[in-house]
Structure 1
Amino acid sequence: MRLDKYLKVTRLIKRRTVSNEACSAGRVLVNGNIGKPSLTVKEGDIIEIQFGTRTTKVEVINIQDTSKKDEAKELYKIL
């Protein structure tokens, strides 16, 4: 699954266009490397998102095309 879509499905970022812009600006790292929006995300990847002064680091647990609000938090683990 594409990185920008994964961020939207897991609700780490609300909209796909916003996640696409964050990836393009270099504020999203995947396994320590800058993640482009089209990067393929796999289980076990470490995603680091920088929001201003706050940084969120998560590990990909599961990948689904869609998820409900309650199920979204089960797709990743906060580190």
Structure 2
Amino acid sequence: MRLDKYLKVSRLIKRRTVAKDVSDQGRVLLNGREAKPGTVVKVGDVLEVQFGQRSLTVRIERISDSARKEDAEGMYTVLKEEIRKKEDEPFL
């Protein structure tokens, strides 16, 4: 399955066009390498997605062409979630 479609079906990203844009910007890593929207994903792959200040690392557990909202979380396992805080500005 294509990366952009997987991100949408698994509900990691709500819209496929947004998933494509995020991938094109280099904010998605697949097994440690930058991934394009058309990159094929398979079970066992590790995805790291950058959402602004937030980074989410997941392992793909299941691939499905469609999934209900309740089933979407079963498509991946969260390995790590980080929130980067902006550094405090120095006092003037």
The one of the two structures with greater contact order (alpha-carbon pairs below 8 A, sep at least 6) is 1
Tell me the CA shift for residue 37 of structure 1: 0.2
TM-superposed deviation, 1:53: 1.2
Paired AA for residue 69 in structure 1:
K
Answer 1 or 2: which has greater helix percent: 1
Q: How many aligned positions are there?
A: 79
What is the one-letter code of the residue matched to 1:4? D
Three-state SS of the structure 1 residue aligned to 2:50 is strand
Task: Write out per-residue CA displacement over residues 12-64 of structure 1, whole angstroms, 9 at most, x where no aligned residue.
Answer: 00000000000000000000000100000010000000011110000000000
Pick the structure with greater CA Rg: 2
CA distance in structure 2 between the partners assigned to 1:11 and 1:17 by the alignment: 13
Structure 1: any 5+ residue segments left out of the alignment? none
Give 1:11's aligned amino acid: R
Question: What are the within-5 Å matches in structure 2 for residues 1-79 of structure 1?
Answer: 1-79=1-79
- TM value normalised by structure 2: 0.85
2:74 match: secondary structure: helix
Displaced runs of 4 or more, over 2 A: none
What CA distance in whole angstroms lies between the structure 1 residues aligned with 2:22 and 2:49?
8
Unaligned 5+ residue runs, structure 2? Answer: 80-92
